[in-house]
Amino acid sequence: MPLPERPEHHSLTPETPAGEMGDLAATEKKIKEIETWLERLEKTVARQPAASKAPTDDNSDDRAQDLTLLPKDKPIILPLTKKEVESGLHQPITSSLHWLAEWSIRMIKMYHDRVMYAG
């Protein structure tokens, strides 16, 4: 069974009534207004200065600084105790406690020498 033909609503056809011609002119006017607004916005964005990177020491590795967000000398104290982490891992995955326990395990794996359980 062939699909029915779908009329094109966005093109002018000889059958277009005169009342719809006025609607089409109003739509074209709105499109022009949007285009001029968009052009002004693009010019404004182009005039803004680009964000510059802060100067760093020549001996530092920029990628290493970006990856290390935590200070190296301070201990990391988890928001859960060891029992809470263990019980959180047995919660359903829709539980926020489950995901907090998973995050705690990840922190232990990443920073094993600095991580301490709460209380």
Q: What does the pLDDT read at residue 29?
A: 86
94 in a structural domain: yes
List the alpha helices (DSSP H) in the chain: 18-47, 62-67, 82-88, 96-110
The predicted model scores a pTM of 0.42
110 in a structural domain: yes
State whether 43 and 75 are in the same domain: no
Q: Is residue 95 part of a domain?
A: yes
User: What would the pLDDT profile of 10-46 be if each residue is shown by its tens digit?
Assistant: 555 555 555 555 678 888 888 888 888 888 888 787 7
Average pLDDT over residues 97-106: 94
75 shares a domain with 44: no
Residue 106 belongs to some domain of the structure: yes
More confident residue, 25 or 85: 85
Q: Tell me which of 36-40, 87-91, 96-100 is least confident.
A: 36-40
Do 107 and 75 share a domain, yes or no?
yes
Interacting residues of 98 by C-beta distance below 8 A, sequence separation 6+: 88, 89, 91, 92
State what percent of residues in the chain have pLDDT above 90. Answer: 26
More confident residue, 87 or 42: 87
- Residue 75 shares a structural domain with residue 110: yes
The Cα–Cα gap between 72 and 37 comes to 49
Q: Please count the structural domains in the chain.
A: 2
Domain limits at 107? 71-116
The per-residue pLDDT for 103 is: 94
pLDDT band at 66 (very low <50, low <70, confident <90, very high): very low
pLDDT at residue 50, rounded to an integer? 65
Assigned domain for 77 exists: yes
In a domain, 3, yes or no: no
